[in-house]
Amino acid sequence: MSITTEVRPEPSVPPRSARGRVPGLSADRSVRSLLLVAALLPTAALVFLTYQMVKTAWPAVIFNGVSFFTTKTFTIGNLYATGTEVHHGYTAAKGASYGILPLVFGTLVSSFIAVTLAVPVSVGGAILLAERIPVRLQGVLGTFLELLAGIPSVVFGLWGVYTFGPVLSRTVFKWIAALHIPWFGGPAGAGQGLLTASLVLAVMIVPIIAATTRELVRSVPSISKEGAVALGLTSSETVRIVTIPFIRTGVVAASILGLARALGETIAVLIISGNFLNAFPHSIFDPFSTMASTIAAFLDSALTDSTGMAVHSLAEVGLVLLVITLVANLAGRMLTRRFSGAGLPVGRGV
């Protein structure tokens, strides 16, 4: 019966134009338009932002061409020298060269390491927090998790560069370097570099992933877990067989959130990275740079570039970062869809 009413339009509902005059429906309509506005606002903001970025970056896109992505040197040139660089009809300061290859590399690698480290820690921690730890302690530890999420990133940066990094480089980094594994060798440095930055990023995104995962773990129906227990499975088997499949989709989504945070993190990375430009790091202990940190590092001097190309190029860096973040999100979505395939309760645990 309900199906027929859904399929066939209800004759008693007045046509669209008359709706506003029907008492009771006008409120309904204003709520609906309010919701529509609320739903469209984020999309509109994203579109507007992208438009502004493209507009500002456009001269740089023409000036730099493909070499933006294929060269390693990023310099805004000598702002006090006479003469200019001209490409494709656009001018930049003498000696200016905008190549972001090492920055893309630094961004992707540091974020990837951070997420790889943070996901198992967060998921393991969240499961422990939600299932193993006595309820009274859960509250305290949960509060710490939320506090951790609220620490400003500059504090993480300072902590990383003054405490965490130096301590690690004197101990763990040295031991790893002594193993002479390619990419993990060489001098362990003073603590500013790719590994320290990745570790600090990991610490920063753990609360994001863990807090979401904790809620996911709590939302697993207890009757599902009891089903495993009643078959004589141990609690760790129950986690593996019931809890993890239930939360998997949501964990992927939370990890993407964490990844986006790591990709865009600016100030902490700027402080810890060693702000090393124009070349690739040779080992995981070497200083490096990311796109976000480079934008922050250059913005001040870029504003004094009378050709304006420095600012245009930084906008182009921002645009690329935006695209990378969007692509990561889309990839995450596709992954989420794949993970919620066979054997999984579709729509559950997201």
Contact segment (CB under 8 A) with other proteins among 229-237, 258-266, 317-325, 327-335 equals 229-237
When asked if residue 245 is in the footprint of other proteins (CB under 8 A), the reply is yes
Position 266, amino acid = T
CA dihedral sign of residues 220, 221, 226, 227? negative
Residue carrying the six token digits 């945070």: 261
Pull the structure tokens for residue 98.
């905008």
When asked if residue 2 is in the footprint of other proteins (CB under 8 A), the reply is no
For other proteins, give the closer residue by CB, 28 or 237: 237
Nearest CA to 74 among 92, 38, 101?
101
CB 344, min distance to other proteins, A: 5
When asked if residue 63 is in the footprint of other proteins (CB under 8 A), the reply is no
Contact segment (CB under 8 A) with other proteins among 116-124, 222-230, 253-261, 297-305 equals 222-230
C-beta of residue 196 within 8 angstroms of C-beta of residue 168? yes
| CA quadruple 60, 63, 67, 69: dihedral, nearest 10 | 10
Q: Which of 54, 117, 148, 233 binds other proteins (CB under 8 A)?
A: 233
Residue 350 in 3-state DSSP? coil
Residue 173 parent element (H or E): helix 172-178
Q: Which of 25, 79, 344, 350 binds other proteins (CB under 8 A)?
A: 344
Position 123, amino acid = V
CB 199, min distance to other proteins, A: 34
CA dihedral sign of residues 186, 188, 189, 193? positive
CA dihedral sign of residues 269, 169, 205, 151? negative
When asked if residue 345 is in the footprint of other proteins (CB under 8 A), the reply is yes
When asked if residue 52 is in the footprint of other proteins (CB under 8 A), the reply is no
Pull the structure tokens for residue 79.
């702002």
Contact segment (CB under 8 A) with other proteins among 2-10, 201-209, 220-228, 324-332 equals 220-228
Contact segment (CB under 8 A) with other proteins among 3-11, 232-240, 263-271, 290-298 equals 232-240
CB 215, min distance to other proteins, A: 18
How many residues make up the chain in this entry?
350
Contact segment (CB under 8 A) with other proteins among 1-9, 80-88, 186-194, 230-238 equals 230-238
Strand partners, 75: 97
Pull the structure tokens for residue 300.
């001040």
When asked if residue 230 is in the footprint of other proteins (CB under 8 A), the reply is yes
User: How far is CA 149 from its chain centroid?
Assistant: 14
When asked if residue 250 is in the footprint of other proteins (CB under 8 A), the reply is no
Angle in degrees, 0-180, between the axes of helices 101-127 and 309-339, rounded to the nearest 10: 40
For other proteins, give the closer residue by CB, 214 or 225: 225
Binders in 81-140 for other proteins, by CB under 8 A = 134-135
For other proteins, give the closer residue by CB, 65 or 139: 139
Separation CA 349–CA 1 (nearest Å):
32
Residue carrying the six token digits 């509060």: 143
CB 242, min distance to other proteins, A: 6
Contact segment (CB under 8 A) with other proteins among 12-20, 95-103, 113-121, 239-247 equals 239-247
Q: Which of 109, 130, 216, 242 binds other proteins (CB under 8 A)?
A: 242
Which parts of this chain interact with other proteins (CB under 8 A)?
A: 134-135, 221, 223-224, 226-234, 237, 241-242, 245-246, 342-346, 348
